[in-house]
Structure 1
Amino acid sequence: MAGEATGTSLAGTPGDIPHNALMSEANSPRPSAMALQGVRVLDLSRVLAGPWCTQTLADLGADVIKVERPPKGGHPGGDDTRGWGPPYLKDRDGQDTAEAAYYLGANRNKRSIGVDIASPKGQDLIRELARRADVVVENYKVGDLTRYGLNAPALLALNPRLVFCSVTGFGQTGPYRDRAGYDYAVQGLGGLMSVTGEADALPGGGPQKVGVAVADLFTGMYATVAILAALRHRDATGEGQVVDMALLDTQVAMLANLGANYLTTGQAPRRMGNAHQNIVPYQVFQASDGHLIVAVGNDGQFVKFCELLGVPELARDPRYATNAQRVRHREALVPLLAERIAARPRQHWLDAMEAAKVPGGAINDLAEVFEDPQVRHRGMVVPMAHPLSDGLRVVASPMKLSATPVAYRLPPPLLGQHTDEVLAELGHGPEAIAAWREEGVIA
């Protein structure tokens, strides 16, 4: 905001602008201390990986301005996920709004402006915002922003302190750079589906994707870490930089121990259903009335587990006494354990395992998850006021910071909800804003 107590103007260079200049205090109340308070993020991303990154930055206090395309030519405009429903948020009369639950899950604490970046004036507005930003996050196809003069070299020339993060399917280099990237395809290409699901020979066997878009989500989180590292470097040196994030790179990295298994042995791991490649017993078992998870992580826990099952002799059997031996003889051991577990109800075993400090747990559906006393105690559901509804609840951030806690300042914005506010902060008057809206430059 021009003319705050500092008397500074938004017309200056990035270094001249107060850190809170693009934060509307009237509409965005903040606690006195947030970890990223004063960081300005220009969000040119949509769908999930990019918005997940920018939502995380926003939760930590950054002022995130989400740029969305205005309605045009019959297209409703906005982030694609606004229409990815049902389900949709219900209004105060119980009717569906145009706000899909998918969109609501990745866009809180942001301000939305509608700008047509295909238009010269829209491009000028993006440049104005980039001059005053600390971070730009975008997930356009490789080369798309170059056509508009909004690519990394162009914006870094305007603002050398800028951290410019690109999120794509395959990165800015390499033979696949021009391909569109989607989480589902990357889960397959990056090997995750080759190790997820039951073995081919078993009922229901075959490759299986993970139930949520983990390549997108992990890429968003890795992008967040990389941006924070780049900001620290910028603060130390004054130099911005480019962050090149790829879904495929992230998917390969998150293979973790299975990737290490292959690189160590030269043998590709296969699907093992709910069993662990390197630990036994570490899988789902069937009790008399349902399923439970057993997650024995060391030999001492295995001794306790055998005792509560009533088969202490198994822990003394040299075939099963160590984890390495249990992995080698899992085909003989697991049926013996399964027979014992099947004889009693699930809760019997869960109580016994908790008393013996043997790791494991129930398999909850989402209704059970959000009623779980630990989940409720940790405040993992947050109600938020919304312009269209009194019933918005969001899944909370898992980040618990003692001195700079996450704050839920803004509900996921309506398309273009903050256009006038943000442009006014840039110094543009109502007449200019009205003219651009009439021309279709903004929404």
Structure 2
Amino acid sequence: MAGPLSHIRILDLSRIMAGPWAGQILADLGADVIKVERAGVGDDTRRWGPPFLKDTEGNETKESGYYLCVNRGKRSIEVDLASNEGQNIIKELAKTSDIVLENFKVGTLERYGLSANDLKQINPKLIYCSVTGFGQNGPQAKDVAYDFMIQAMGGLMSVTGAADGSPGAGPQKVGIPIIDMMTGMYAAISVLAALAKRAENGEGDVIDIGMLDVATAMLANQGMNYLVSGNVPSRKGNKHPNIQPQDVFEVKDGHIVLAVGNDEQFERFSEALNKPEWSQDVRFSTNKERVNNLDVLHPLICDELKKQELRYWLDSFNVAKVPCGPINSVPMVLDEPQVKHREMLQYIDHPLAGKVPQIVSPMKFTNSPLKFDKAPPQLGENTSEILAELGIDGE
């Protein structure tokens, strides 16, 4: 596989989503990612279906959609970490690896002799990244965590959902495992930064990533809004807490998303609505006043937008250079001309299905273009191959 990390090997001991997401990012970048899976069982997500990939005859395989979304480009080896033989295999792999990714409960790999200290004695240049729910220390360090509960604990659900008192009010989770994915992103960024530092001083590093830490960092503008004002952020549905008008609005035949980001855009927006006087109104002329007077402005906008169909408004606002868009379903996203042009959906050869669809990496390099030619591996697909590379007999 090509890419800027084609000279890097990753020993991926992680499973489910956060760690494997980091591993897939690195695999997409060209790294040789060796996915270590529990013998006879494999990654938990292999069983997280339906749906499951169908083979060329239309029969269900054991490859779940969930597993397939996060393990592209890797090689799979089955290892029993509780056995001496399995532990020795991991140590041999660590000798030639640049990075270890793991998301076991705190203390588990230490019992197997596979902790950061253990493996760095074998390979001092190793970069060892641990991904857990709560980090390696603290009162909850040994607790198990899942994305959903961390979305709740980390405050994300307190600012996601319809406003209290409105229909459907109440906390909501994000529709994708966003904490897992962002944890994987932070893990990938961390190991790449450690690689850059190692190139300078020749030393490896140990990295500690906690999902609750990630969720806390993700509070971003909402967290700072609270720290600056002392006001607790609340759910506002689709309304932006700092910039207006930004919301979902009903039109004659559906809904439109508007993301008016500054005063100049609001002026063009007002003109497109045939309401140029709005941008001169002291209540609406600046973003600060639009936020303060949203209870007046919002119904005025709603009344105007209901007069025309979605296509009319999309065309009008695009001409006026006002950010807007339809609310696409997943198939509609994949059918967007821009998404097609950018080749975000690709099909990779698969031994069971013939081809497996993949929504690929958005990273596009000029000098080291990425290639997507290695499907998510079947359980243990590369065991013999990897053992042979280590000089270990497959039996």
Q: Is the 8 A contact 2:102 2:131 kept in 1?
A: yes
> Which residue of the partner structure matches residue 49 of structure 1?
18
The code of the aligned residue for 1:148 comes to: Y
Q: Distance in 1 between matches of 2:38 and 2:361?
A: 27
Query: Residues 4-35 of structure 1, C-alpha deviation per residue, up to 9 Å, x if partnerless?
Result: xxxxxxxxxxxxxxxxxxxxxxxxxx34xx20
**Equivalent residue in structure 2 for 1:229, among 177, 182, 193:** 193
> Which residue of the partner structure matches residue 208 of structure 1?
172
TM-superposed CA distance for 1:367, in Å, is 1.1
Q: Is the 8 A contact 1:40 1:132 kept in 2?
A: yes
The code of the aligned residue for 1:140 comes to: F
The code of the aligned residue for 1:62 comes to: A
**Equivalent residue in structure 1 for 2:29, among 53, 60, 83:** 60
Residue 5 of structure 2 corresponds to residue 36 of structure 1:
yes
Q: Distance in 2 between matches of 1:396 and 1:159?
A: 33
Q: Is the 8 A contact 2:349 2:373 kept in 1?
A: no
Q: Distance in 2 between matches of 1:162 and 1:211?
A: 36
Which structure 1 segments of 5+ residues have no match? 1-29, 72-76, 435-443
> Which residue of the partner structure matches residue 324 of structure 2?
360
Residue 297 of structure 2 corresponds to residue 333 of structure 1:
yes
The code of the aligned residue for 2:59 comes to: Q
TM-score of the superposition, structure 2-length normalised?
0.99
Q: Distance in 1 between matches of 2:32 and 2:137?
A: 31
> Which residue of the partner structure matches residue 46 of structure 2?
82
Matches within 5 A, 1:115-130: 115-130=79-94
TM-superposed CA distance for 1:289, in Å, is 0.4
Q: Distance in 1 between matches of 2:189 and 2:331?
A: 31
**Equivalent residue in structure 1 for 2:138, among 168, 174, 180:** 174
TM-superposed CA distance for 1:268, in Å, is 1.3
The code of the aligned residue for 1:276 comes to: H
Q: CA RMSD in A?
A: 0.8
Query: Residues 37-71 of structure 1, C-alpha deviation per residue, up to 9 Å, x if partnerless?
Result: 11010000000000000001011110000000112
Q: Distance in 2 between matches of 1:385 and 1:257?
A: 43
Q: Distance in 1 between matches of 2:164 and 2:80?
A: 49
TM-superposed CA distance for 1:409, in Å, is 2.9
Q: Is the 8 A contact 2:162 2:235 kept in 1?
A: yes
TM-superposed CA distance for 1:391, in Å, is 3.5
Q: Is the 8 A contact 2:39 2:80 kept in 1?
A: yes
Q: Matched residue of 2:352: which SS? A: coil
> Which residue of the partner structure matches residue 259 of structure 2?
295
Q: Distance in 1 between matches of 2:137 and 2:342?
A: 42
TM-superposed CA distance for 1:346, in Å, is 0.9
TM-superposed CA distance for 1:154, in Å, is 0.8
The code of the aligned residue for 2:207 comes to: V
Q: Percent identity?
A: 52
TM-superposed CA distance for 1:225, in Å, is 0.5
Q: Distance in 1 between matches of 2:141 and 2:243?
A: 38
Which structure 2 segments of 5+ residues have no match? none
Residue 158 of structure 2 corresponds to residue 194 of structure 1:
yes
TM-score of the superposition, structure 1-length normalised?
0.88
Q: Distance in 1 between matches of 2:216 and 2:365?
A: 30
Matches within 5 A, 1:5-404: 30-31=1-2, 34-71=3-40, 77-404=41-368
Q: Distance in 1 between matches of 2:51 and 2:324?
A: 33
TM-superposed CA distance for 1:111, in Å, is 0.3
The code of the aligned residue for 1:351 comes to: D
**Equivalent residue in structure 1 for 2:392, among 415, 418, 428:** 428
Q: Distance in 2 between matches of 1:194 and 1:428?
A: 52
Q: Is the 8 A contact 1:90 1:391 kept in 2?
A: no
Q: Is the 8 A contact 1:89 1:101 kept in 2?
A: yes
Q: Distance in 2 between matches of 1:39 and 1:294?
A: 43
Q: Is the 8 A contact 1:127 1:150 kept in 2?
A: yes
Q: Distance in 2 between matches of 1:357 and 1:153?
A: 56
Q: Matched residue of 1:384: which SS? A: strand
TM-superposed CA distance for 1:348, in Å, is 0.6
Q: Matched residue of 1:286: which SS? A: strand
Query: Residues 278-337 of structure 1, C-alpha deviation per residue, up to 9 Å, x if partnerless?
Result: 011011100010000011001111111111111111111101110000000001100000
